[in-house]
């Protein structure tokens, strides 16, 4: 595979993986988790099925890993091609800060255990 094709493939993996990862996290944090918390036990069961049977946690981890690895590969290739000069430019610094944020987000997300979904089962409702 030539350099240009490899760069295009890495960019596609990075962009599509990042879109899925970020979009899914926004959907979860903004809509699904608040809804699950407000629906009682049914919401807890929904979350268990989503995370365990449908394996959303696996796909989020895969998307995060592919996004970070392809981004790091693109960054290192550009820095290597310019003998490190590009990393000191404004775009290089901006991409570096973004890379650190993504690595931190992946580390935090990866540190959540599979059993954490049981936390979203709300306490008994009081009538």
What average pLDDT does the segment 3-23 reach?
96
- The DSSP secondary structure of 27-83, one letter per residue, reads HIIIIIHHHHHHSTHHHHHHHHIIIIIS-HHHHHHHHHHHHHHHHHHHHHHHHHHTT
The more confident residue out of 48 and 116 is 48
C-alpha Rg value of the chain to the nearest Å: 19
pTM: 0.81
- Strand, coil or helix: what is 19? helix
**What percentage of the chain exceeds 70 in pLDDT?**
88
- 113: pLDDT confidence band, cut at 50, 70 and 90? low
What average pLDDT does the segment 21-33 reach?
94
The more confident residue out of 12 and 106 is 12
Taking only the tens place, the pLDDT of each residue in 60-102 is: 999 999 999 999 999 999 999 999 999 999 999 999 999 999 9
- 117: pLDDT confidence band, cut at 50, 70 and 90? low
């Amino acid at each position: 595979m030539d350099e240009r094709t490899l760069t295009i493939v890495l960019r596609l993996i990075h962009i599509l993986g990042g879109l899925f990862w970020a979009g899914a996290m926004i959907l979860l944090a903004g809509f699904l988790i608040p809804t699950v918390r407000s629906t009682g036990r049914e919401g807890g069961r929904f979350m268990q099925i989503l995370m365990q049977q449908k394996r959303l946690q696996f796909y989020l981890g895969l998307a995060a890993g592919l996004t970070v690895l392809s981004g790091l590969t693109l960054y290192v290739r550009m820095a290597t091609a310019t003998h490190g000069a590009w990393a000191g430019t404004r775009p290089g610094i901006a991409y570096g800060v973004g890379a650190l944020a993504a690595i931190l987000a992946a580390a935090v997300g990866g540190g959540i255990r599979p059993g954490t979904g049981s936390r979203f089962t709300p306490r008994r409702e009081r009538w």
